[in-house]
Amino acid sequence: MPPSHPFDDDKLREECGVFGVVGVADAANFVALGLHALQHRGQEAGGIVTHDPDQGFNSARRFGYVRDNFTNQQVMDTLPGPIGIGHVRYSTAGSKGNTQIRDVQPFFGEFSMGGAAIAHNGNITNADALRRELIDRGSIFQSSSDSECIIHLMARSLQRDIPERMKDALRRVEGAFSVVAMTRTKLIGVRDPLGVRPLVLGQLGDGWVLSSETCALDIIGADFVREIEPGEMVVITAEQGVKSHRPFEQSRPRFCIFEHVYFSRPDSILGGRSVYETRRQIGVELAREAPADADLVCPVPDSGTPAAIGFSQEAGIPYAMGIIRNQYMGRTFIEPTEQIRNMGVRLKLNINRALVKGKRIVLVDDSVVRGTTSVKIREMLLDAGASEVHFRIASPPTAWPCFYGVDTPNREKLLAATMSEDEMREHLGVDSLRFISLNGLYRAVGESKGRDPQAPQYCDACFSGEYPVAPSDMIEKGFALKAAE
């Protein structure tokens, strides 16, 4: 079974990371390294598919971490060839705990013109409707993943090659998708017309790489070339290099702003901007908008660290590691006993007592989702002798669920959906609580005038409730969109 996450249930989770390479010897080794660098995007399961001219397509799919599964030479020896793709995943909220190995990507399909494998990051918002249609027309699904719809749509296309069939399929799909796919000789990358989820292109000697983030290029020594543009498809071969296609009608891009806040690794580059520097700048904006009279600025590690540094620098309050993270949690407590579970975040975080005793603490975190972890950390700080606790949050209140590839609780479980900022402060029991404003967040990511309410530059639906693509499946189930103001 996949590892559970009993101590991280108060964080939003990106659901997937994708990686692919063509034109290199032993492609699977590079894919495994790339997936290891993308492990933060999905820690439940991973898979690799390769193709070898002599042995054909081969795949390996496993639950757990990349390091536990794809450093085994016996496994890697079963994945020969100069082309390969891989995927790491979390399950969606609806299927968590019920994941089967058949749900683990990449998915593979055999077509009349040859086989193809596909790995998908994002979420198809009309997947239920597509699945019903496809089943009514005779398709037999092997998984519960919405991504499998793409394979079935490709199978029903009348186009004569796989890239054209993929164009046909993705034109039927709504929502967010960054796709990495492969045939026997071609590596294919596609972003949806809004470019909600990231995808980048790199070069490794004479070979080419596609990845969810630039940090995975670094680990294999590949050079960053550019981002795949919103609405673009690239078809790459070792012989002919990169060919670009535009299969969709052009739309105004709406990249996920939460990638800047939390999902992406701080050593990645997004939109030409350092993720670390953006997060530090969020802390600067937060200090300007919500100053605090305090003795120390402390991050909730590790995601709050860059913003805490920026807050400290702008406010002139010393930065300190008041909370220490246990870096060796790993999978030690896959099946925790009730007694261990009740210990909660103490297994993951510990207070630096000598530092915080008698001090007024500004605690900087990336987000507040349910608030359960925030309450426990406040209790731990006060137990350790802190005189005051002031929360500063490096994102606006998360009041709406994401339907584009992020594991978000139901709206009624989001603290900001039912409480005002003052009510949340009282609920958390802290001396003060402030979130960065949506305009402040936009300034931190480089939009000097803040958010344009008529034409937002990013997807910020989790904060604003304004969905750039209507979540049609959820609306059908009764989800109520935000009323027009």
Residues 186-239 pLDDT 10s: 999 999 999 999 999 999 999 999 999 999 999 999 999 999 999 999 999 999
CA 288, CA 425: separation in Å to the nearest integer? 20
Structure tokens at 2: 């996949």
Q: How many CB atoms lie within 10 A of CB 432?
A: 16
As its CATH architecture, domain 277-445 has: 3-Layer(aba) Sandwich (3.40)
Q: Which phi and psi (to 5°) does residue 232 adopt?
A: -100, 145
416/409 Cα distance (integer angstroms): 12
The answer to whether 303 touches 278, Cβ cutoff 8 Å, is no
DSSP 7: T
Q: Which has the closest alpha carbon to 19: 194, 183, 195, 215?
A: 215
pLDDT tens sequence across 16-71: 999 999 999 999 999 999 999 999 999 999 999 999 999 999 999 999 999 999 99
Q: What is the β-pairing status of strands 233-237 and 187-191?
A: antiparallel
- Cis before 302? omega within 30: yes
Residue 209: C-alpha distances to residues 133, 192, 241, 471 (Å): 35, 19, 11, 32
Catalytic annotation present for 462: no
Nearest 5°: the CA angle 183, 189, 194 is 145
Q: Tell me where in the chain the CATH 3.60.20.10 domain(s) lie.
A: 13-254
What tokens appear for 424 in the block? 């949340």
The counts of H helices and E strands in the chain are 18, 25
* CATH number 3.60.20.10 is the correct assignment for the domain at 13-254: yes
Tens of pLDDT along the chain (485 residues) come to 333 343 345 667 657 999 999 999 999 999 999 999 999 999 999 999 999 999 999 999 999 999 999 999 999 999 999 999 999 998 654 344 456 899 999 999 999 899 999 999 999 999 999 999 999 999 999 999 999 999 999 999 999 999 999 999 999 999 999 999 999 999 999 999 999 999 999 999 999 999 999 999 999 999 999 999 999 999 999 999 999 999 999 899 999 999 999 999 999 999 999 999 999 999 999 999 999 999 999 999 988 999 999 999 999 999 999 999 987 655 433 344 555 555 667 778 999 999 999 999 999 999 999 898 899 999 999 999 999 999 999 999 999 999 998 877 789 889 999 999 999 999 999 999 999 999 999 999 999 999 999 999 999 999 999 999 999 999 999 999 988 76
| Portions of the chain given CATH number 3.40.50.2020 | 277-445
Q: Give Dmax over CA atoms of the chain in angstroms.
A: 72
Whole-model pTM: value is: 0.92
Contact status, residue 380 vs residue 351, Cβ threshold 8 Å: yes
- Amino acid at the residue 399: A
User: Where do the H-state alpha helices sit in 298-414?
Assistant: 305-315, 338-342, 353-356, 372-383
DSSP 295: S
Catalytic residue among 16, 256, 402, 462: 16
Q: How far apart are CA 142 and CA 148, in angstroms?
A: 8
Spatial distance between the Cα atoms of 318 and 324, rounded to a whole number of angstroms: 17
Task: Provide the 10 A C-beta neighbour count for residue 302.
Answer: 12
pLDDT for res 408: 79
